[in-house]
Chains A and B, each alone.
Chain A
Amino acid sequence: MSETPEEPLGPRRVIGTPSTAPKAVDTQAESSRPAFSAEPEDLKHAKNAERLVAALFVLAFLAGCGFIAAFIGIEVGQNTIPKGANAVVAATRSNFALGTCLSIALLALGAGSIIWVRQLTPNIEIAEERHDLNSAPEDRAAFKRDFAEGAAISQITRRPLVRRTMLLATAPLALAPLVLLRDLGPLPQTDLRHTVWRKGLRAVTLGGLRPLRPSDISTPGSLITVIPEGYQSDDDALAKAGVILIKFAPGELHIPTNHDGGAVVSTMNWTIDNIVAYSKICTHVGCPVALYEQTTHHILCPCHQSTFDAANGANVIFGPAARALPQLPLMLTSAGFIAAASDFTQPVGPSFWERG
């Protein structure tokens, strides 16, 4: 027990420190670099490794052939697969076969290469000298001299008129690409302030394009998404004009009064038969608000969870939206259908600089 072992005991290696396994480090100058032997030390081990690498490469070859076979053999698409077969299943099957073959081929190539470089090549390190990145002082001085000389020959410092007019000449040309970009789109003007809603434009359901009578929304607590009639295929219009209709039980709806330029305005008369219409476009960044909780009358935007209280003027009660959902004034057409009494009185959707 008292004898001191020759070999260091205990953890052979401290974590984070290199292995003590000897490596051949070739630090010789290029000219006197000694010849090294590419012959492995352990011939048997090298032979085994060679066989393994070759086997993996053969596997890669076979898998590669399998890929081509799978491509030829497995049809996809409803026009090529047998009538009645499921195109999704065909695509899945093809994807599975092609992907499996390709992954095996690539993995075998990768694994073979790793074994090749780790087991077959001798472990030789070389040390390369770093040279200073900064130039030698004499080079810097020479550069300075040549540069000054060239600048003098070019007359750039002596002829300010030429220099300045040249700079002047480039200025409009530098602006030209920006000017060209001007026609990428129209100016915003008041486009963000208005929607297509106007007096008498009927609200139709998003799915069936059916105009609605107040009696169609019989159950209090339901939410219906409606769009302006005739705009169902105009995405630009729909992206702003989507509206949700919510029916309340009598007495549940409390639309707060607004102080508009001194006059107290209530938008309660914008509702019909306890049906209120709010913009479906979230005032945060414009996702359609879609989730409605009947018992609390909360409308939730699924994108960033802005929550609006539908029973209380759609005011924000949680989340990043800073404004209530704008309310759309409603009226009944002569035939008794729900329609807009006017456009929204304030811009719908996210805030923007010019909104005021």
Chain B
Amino acid sequence: MSDDAVKIPPAVSGVGGWLDDRFHGAGGVRVLMRKVFPDHWSFMLGEIALWSFVILLLTGTYLALFFEPSAAPVVYHGSYTKLDGLSMSQAYQSTLNISFDIRGGLLMRQIHHWAALMFMIAIFAHMTRVFFTGAYRKPREINWLIGIGLLTLGMLEGLFGYSLPDDQLSGAGLRILFGVFEGIPIVGTYLMFFLFGGQFPGTAIIPRMYILHVFLIPGLILALVTAHLFIMFHQKHTQMPAKGNTEKNVVGQPFFPYFLLKGQAWFFCIFAALVALATFAQINPVWLYGPYTPLAISSASQPDFYMGILEGALRMMPAWEINFLGHTLSLSVLIPGLLIIGLFFTAAALWPFFEQWATGDKSFHNINDRPRNAPVRTGVGVGVICWYLILLLEGANDVIADRFDVPLYTVTWISRVAFFVVPVGAYFVTKRICLALQRKDANMLTHGVEIGIIRQLPNGEFIEEERPVTEEERAVLESKHVPAALPAPLETDANGVPAPAARGPLGRARAIANRCRSPPLSRVPFSPILVLYPSGILRMKSCASAIRAASSTMLSGTSGCPYAILFRTVSLNSTVSCVTLPISFRSESIVTSRRSCPSIRIRPSFTSKNRGIKFTREDFPAPLGPTNAITSPGCTVKLMPCSTCFVSPSLS
């Protein structure tokens, strides 16, 4: 206890003691106060969803005090004179009254709607961050599933919420809901007749949606949010790679006082943003849409954004309908309305388990991946995001056609093609970018960081100065974790027996999936760091100098010709290993440009115009173990153990 610690007033300490006598809480609460919260900007995304949900509960309770969930018809004679004398439901009338006759009612309605959008956006953003950093991996798979449950419930909750006012737009939404679900084989019509209490629209749906919207679904969301937080609390946070962060610890600031203050700050900021939106950006002006009547419709009818992919899928789908054993199977409704969203959720739910299966990685993960260090996962994620955005945009195809003056059908056709092409393209582009970023990291580890000073050497060559990476940077750059590769597809042992894990069609699929994630060695970047001479080993600070040293001695034809260049590989299926290129066995010279290190190329016939040197697979013997040696006529060079080449790789 330090001297300047706060003196706790006797009253507070008295109450604390009283409570502790009854609940034995001091120990537990102290642990809670000291609970460590790691810091990273992306960890705030989930918090946005949490605070938006709190704001939804607050404003929703207020709205429920005034809203009348009834489809009973009334004739309106209220403040909004443009609708005077019109027949409408009590639900719509009470929504108008909340907007025009209750002080703060409009503000609360708009905050509620904006908060719902913010809630869903934050869930998506949080989900994306969890996906890209691999935070769903063991032991957090259950929390990932709960998150998907929350996303689903959030979509339903939002749909029911914006359908409650019974305005023209939301009624059209319900009509579409009825139309989609009545297409489900066997049970569809029954399901809808039970939900709507008969034919569309009926009068039962509004009170039923109301009780689902204000009680059942929020209750489930609250329960799942609680479970989500408790599990996170129990398993402790993940953390980003940094110096001092290990799989066995969690580094950050304690809950009390830091996170309490930060959480408070963040809550107020989000609340302020939502109130500002509700004040200055009008949302869902139901009075402009008018009360629902079954035969009216307006163009540019879009649902809230989180239902947009359903709308987009419905619009994109060609007219497919088949007759199945005397029954109608309406594929043009079932595929976009149920199958696509079902695939999205199922694939998302299965992904952690698929990844575990494909990588064979059963270990615990508390340090997050940097997205670049998991190129396949990141590629898939970006592909799915593109796919989602295409569906979302197609959901507004009429607006796009109108605003950009493109024929409507053209927009739909573009989206139909893009639906298949863009995600695949995005996957490959993203994967390449990730690999390139990994090479950049590898470069930085082996060469250091360019510091922006160009130096001219006595021979006239310009080089850029580099500094070694700092410890903090190194911890991040070396954070890549790759589990050992599984046996390759069709790989057999010496007796021609395939590995147990790769047997059968499932095993082969697994091997292919594994290979896809961890490409074989021949595709990985190399960086030379040591030049091996008969007399000893010359350590080089960078690949450029290693190559330069090797080639200059070779060109000069001295007897000190190097036998090999030792390469440090920063490979995709093992953290770091070493391979050698026994250059002394080749007669041609080597020249390289210093900027081309990761893709050094050696060609059999060298000409001075060649800037690059290409390695082929044959250039590389198997990765060398600690006792490997290279023999050449006249002498043998023993290689140093592999480990030494990356303990201090770039520093001489």
Cβ-based interface call for A286 (8 A): yes
Q: Among A124, A186, A302, A321, which residue has its beta carbon within 8 angstroms of that of B298?
A: A302
Q: Is the CB of A110 within 8 A of B328?
A: no
CA distance A39 to B244 in the complex (A): 26
Residue interface mask B181-199, A partner, CB < 8 A = 1: 0111110111001111111
Q: Which residue of chain A lies nearest to B437 when distances are taken between CB atoms in the complex?
A: A16
Known: A25-B244, A285-B179. Contact between A87 and B449, CB under 8 A?
A: no
CA distance A40 to B87 in the complex (A): 67
Q: Is the CB of B444 within 8 A of A113?
A: no
**Distance in Å: Cβ of A22 to nearest Cβ of chain B:** 10
Cβ-based interface call for A133 (8 A): yes
Q: Inside 8 A of A117's CB, which chain B residues have their CB?
A: 257-258, 261-262, 265
Cβ-based interface call for A41 (8 A): no
For the complex, count residues of B whose C-beta is within 8 A of A: 130
Cβ-based interface call for B73 (8 A): yes
CA distance A349 to B182 in the complex (A): 11
Residue interface mask B26-54, A partner, CB < 8 A = 1: 00000000111000000000000000000
Q: Inside 8 A of B106's CB, which chain A residues have their CB?
A: 91, 94-95
Which of A42-50, A98-106, A144-152, A165-173 contacts the other chain? A98-106
CA distance A133 to B235 in the complex (A): 7
Cβ-based interface call for A291 (8 A): yes
Q: Which residue of chain B lies nearest to A307 when distances are taken between CB atoms in the complex?
A: B409
Q: Among B103, B278, B408, which residue has its beta carbon within 8 angstroms of that of A71?
A: B103
Q: Is the CB of A227 within 8 A of B295?
A: yes
Q: Inside 8 A of A280's CB, which chain B residues have their CB?
A: 295
CA distance A38 to B7 in the complex (A): 13
Looking at chain B's contact residues, is the secondary structure mostly helix, strand, loop, or mixed?
Answer: mixed
Q: Among B193, B195, B301, which residue has its beta carbon within 8 angstroms of that of A303?
A: B301
Q: Among B185, B257, B318, which residue has its beta carbon within 8 angstroms of that of A320?
A: B318
**Distance in Å: Cβ of B477 to nearest Cβ of chain A:** 7
**Distance in Å: Cβ of A203 to nearest Cβ of chain B:** 13
Q: Among B73, B107, B195, B321, which residue has its beta carbon within 8 angstroms of that of A184?
A: B195
Residue interface mask A15-29, B partner, CB < 8 A = 1: 011111000010000
Within 8 A of B (CB), among A127-152: 127-130, 133
Q: Inside 8 A of A216's CB, which chain B residues have their CB?
A: none
Q: Is the CB of B194 within 8 A of A185?
A: yes
Known: A133-B235, A287-B297, A303-B172. Contact between A76 and B254, CB under 8 A?
A: no
Cβ-based interface call for B178 (8 A): yes
Residue interface mask B345-384, A partner, CB < 8 A = 1: 0000000000000000000101000100000000000000
Instruction: List 9 additional contacts besides A87-B80, A103-B275, A110-B269; criterion CB under 8 Å.
Output: A99-B107, A130-B250, A191-B198, A192-B199, A285-B314, A287-B297, A304-B311, A320-B315, A320-B316
Residues of A within 8 A of B (CB): 1, 8-11, 13-14, 16-20, 25, 35-39, 71, 74-79, 87-88, 90-91, 94-96, 98-100, 102-107, 109-111, 113-114, 116-117, 121, 124-130, 133, 181-182, 184-188, 191-192, 206, 225, 227, 233, 235-236, 238-240, 242, 280, 284-288, 290-291, 302-306, 316, 318-323, 349-356
Q: Closest 4 A-B residue pairs measured CB to CB?
A: A99-B279, A10-B451, A285-B179, A35-B2
